[in-house]
Amino acid sequence: MREIKFRAWDGYKIHYPVNFEFGISGVSGKTSIAFVPFGSLGYTTTSHIMQYTGLKDKNGVEIYEGDIIIIEDVYKDIILDDGTGPSEPFNHLAPVAFKQAEYGVDIKDGADIFCSGFWSFQSIRYETGQDDYEVIGNICENPELLK
């Protein structure tokens, strides 16, 4: 069974682990979410809540929604009529997301193995036989990695 854990971005830093309190705003009438970092006395409104995927990267780092991971691929430069040419390693930097009822990554630029779009971790494992991802940042603290 997968452990259910969350982390939260408060606009300045990420808090691990967190307790949540849900309520209705008196001003807007909309549902709001506040979190209480363990050991903290105050409430902080958050803009991003990220759930643990149940996976760890090759360095033992837990993978959460919003993490940016490296997906290894190959890019083949097709220069001959028979479809052959030199190939070179190509790394996708992709954010982890929950779509289509499973966790995976949104790949922006396609290469030989992975075309652009959403790829579940299960489909990546099927295509490559590997699941040794590496977390290199997250969308809140390192948005420049995706540019």
Q: ∠ at Cα 63 (118, 2), nearest 5°?
A: 95
Average the pLDDT over each of 8-17, 71-80, 99-108, 136-145 and give the range with the smallest value. Answer: 71-80
Q: Where are the domains of the chain?
A: 6-52, 54-146
Backbone angles phi, psi at 133, to 5 degrees: -80, 165
pLDDT at 73: 80
Per CATH, is 54-146 categorized as 2.30.30.290? yes
Q: Tell me: the pLDDT tens digits for 104-125?
A: 998 887 767 788 889 999 998 9
